[in-house]
Structure 1
Amino acid sequence: MTPVIPGFARHRVPVADGVALNVAVGGSGSPVVLLHGFPQTHLMWRHVAADLAADHTVICPDLRGYGASDKPAAAGPATYSKRAMAADVVALARALGHERFALAGHDRGGLVAFRAGLDHPAAISHLACLDVLPTLDMWDVMRGPTAAVGFHLYLMAQPPGLPERMIAAAPDAFFGHFLDAWNHSPDAVPPAVRAAYLDACRAAVPSIVADYRASATVDIDHDRADRAAGRLLRMPVRVLQQDWGAALGYDARGLWRAWAPALTHTTVDCGHFMAEEDPRLVATALRELFAG
């Protein structure tokens, strides 16, 4: 049986032509949307969501192309651009009755949240991004031997065909690699949840690749245009991040500050899957942000 977030109801919500999102909703109070990362589904938020549901309406979707959400064929990079995925999130919140909401995203979900904050500032009251850099900055700092940690970024940036075939040939080995290599606490992702992640990824290889391919093309264009126009994240922003600077040699706080004047940046002592490894830390950080 697929794991669920206890006490949360499952819905299927249309958000765009031919695209409906699978979403878990629980709690009551001011709305919070939580976006998952790679190679996960909305289940990554199971502990944090249950905590926040004590005084928030918590909305946990599977992103377009992931989990049980629709996976439209990519007509081009724009299908899985973060702009399109951010529009999905805003449409989802509105369909559930929320014109304005707090938004937190991890990894790929963090990129979607970042884009939502820039494209839909009136809708986003507070913004949190976990263990990610904005797309433009990410590509700027990935260089030399240390960039090997991001080999998947380069693989999935290739033209359609080869990446999909390579990953589909051994999907559990590919996606399982990241669940193991990026996890500092093996018990944080129990076997049933790991199996659910691998099942979901196995069924979504083309759309996951399309998401990453968009980040090597159209997403960069959107970030460059915003930087040239001086667009900033004007809402309160909280970033939780591993010490990437020590490993890759850059100032993560400084990179984020260039986008977010109202920034609180915290370096955390846990692995990439921090919402599963240390949910209390993440929930506390989000509560502090939302109270600001």
Structure 2
Amino acid sequence: MKTERIEGADGVMINVAVEGSGPAIVLLHGFPQTHLMWRHVAPALAGEFTVICPDLRGYGDSDKPAEATAYAKREMARDVLAVSERLGFRSFALVGHDRGALVAFRAALDHPREVTHLASLDVLPTVDMWEVMHGVSAAVGFHLYLMAQPPGLPERMIEASSDEFFGHFLDLWAIDPQAIPAGIREQYLDACRKAIPSIVADYRASAGIDVEHDETDRKNGTKLAMPVTVLQQDWGAALGFDAAALWRPWAPDLVHESVPYGHFMAEEAPEAVVKAVRSLLLR
């Protein structure tokens, strides 16, 4: 896919890959990845849609603001709207994986007129995630607690062994190791090496301001106004919760599927992801 830098919110420049023509679908990547994670999904959708794949601010070749407040998901969501509008689209479907799914969730809550459909891949809303993490089962999310710490120590610890740190998740979360070949893996690791402070800031925001925003919306009864599809590993079997039950209060029009793929499902099972997105867009 061809990439270009497009101005997002507040002058932040966003690296964006665009392919195809027709109505817009925005695909938001997760951790520890870049827009390259959509390399199988985007071409399959580009025959019917304009597929827009940004690097989130702080990741890949997008700008990496120094301000901690820049990584609130509300701010990152504003990039998505700004980029889409500059490409000529005032409304769009939105698909997010992992960190990108948290940005997509916030964009859909804050901008229901612009986001027509929402797909979330393997994540819980931030406030729900923190509430279900407890006891020894929370060890699987050790990185969430590490990067929630005040600035300084987390960054230094990760910088001391960045390839091992980020590579740990690429290895642990993939059921099919061949889904992320060596060349793509190296591009992910290289991008992460250059983005440690901003990646940590993104996670730190999810232990602070993002929770506050979610709690306010939950208290006010704010719902996702569009059709929502969630594809999720069966976390409940390991961590003791019902993921679909956590999603339902947020999404009245919900299709929730527990899937047998690994966390990197857009790379491990792209045909299934494309099928789910196509089904979502028919609702």
TM score, norm. by length of structure 1: 0.96
Q: 1:19 aligns with which of 2, 8, 12?
A: 12
| Counterpart among 194, 199, 204 of residue 190 in structure 2 | 199
Q: Is the 8 A contact 1:237 1:264 kept in 2?
A: yes
Q: Structure 2 counterpart of 1:262, which letter?
A: D
Once the two structures are TM-superposed, the CA of residue 18 in structure 1 deviates from its matched residue by: 3.7
Answer yes or no: is the 8 Å Cα contact 1:18–1:72 preserved in 2: no
**1:171 corresponding residue in structure 2:** 162
User: Where does 1:42-61 land on structure 2 (aligned, <5 Å)?
Assistant: 42-61=35-54
Report 1:26-45 matches (<5 A): 26-45=19-38
Q: What secondary structure is seen at the aligned counterpart in 2 of 1:163?
A: helix
What secondary structure, in the 3-state scheme, does the structure 2 residue paired with 1:136 have? helix
Residue-by-residue CA offset, 1:35-69 (whole Å, 9 max, x unaligned): 00000000001100010001110000000000000
| Equivalent residue number for residue 97 of structure 2 | 106
CA distance in 2, matches of 1:196, 1:125: 32
Q: What is the deviation of 1:17?
A: 2.6
Matched, 1:63 2:66: no
Question: How many residues in Structure 1 have an aligned counterpart in Structure 2?
Answer: 283
Say yes or no: does 1:240 pair with 2:231: yes
Does 2:164 match 1:161? no
* Contact persistence 1:235–1:262 (CA under 8 A): yes
Mark the runs of 5 or more structure 1 residues left unpaired by the alignment: 1-7
Task: Detail structure 1 runs of 4+ shifted over 2 Å in the superposition.
Answer: none
Does the alignment pair 1:116 with 2:107?
Answer: yes
Q: Give yes or no for contact 2:9–2:75 (8 Å, CA) kept in 1.
A: no
Which residue of structure 2 lines up, in the alignment, with residue 97 of structure 1? 88
C-alpha distance in 2 between matches for 1:16 and 1:35: 16
- The corresponding residue for 2:262 is 271
What is the CA-CA distance between 1:9 and the residue it aligns to? 1.8
Given that 1:31 and 1:58 are in contact with CA atoms closer than 8 Å, whether structure 2 keeps it comes out as yes
- Residue 120 of structure 1 deviates from its aligned partner by 0.5
* TM-align CA RMSD: 0.6
Partner secondary structure for residue 17 of structure 1 = helix
1:249-264 to structure 2, matched below 5 A, reads: 249-264=240-255
Query: Identical aligned pairs, as a percentage?
Result: 66
Counterpart check, 1:183 vs 2:174? yes
**How high is the TM-score relative to the length of structure 2?**
0.99
Contact 2:15–2:61 (CA under 8 A) maintained in structure 1: yes
Deviations 1:166-186 (A, max 9, x none): 000010000000000000001
Encode CA deviations 1:121-142: one digit per residue, 9 max, x unaligned: 1000000000000000000000
Residue by residue over 1:234-290, the C-alpha shift from the partner in whole angstroms, topping out at 9 and shown as x without a partner, is 100000000001010001000000100000000000100000000000000001001
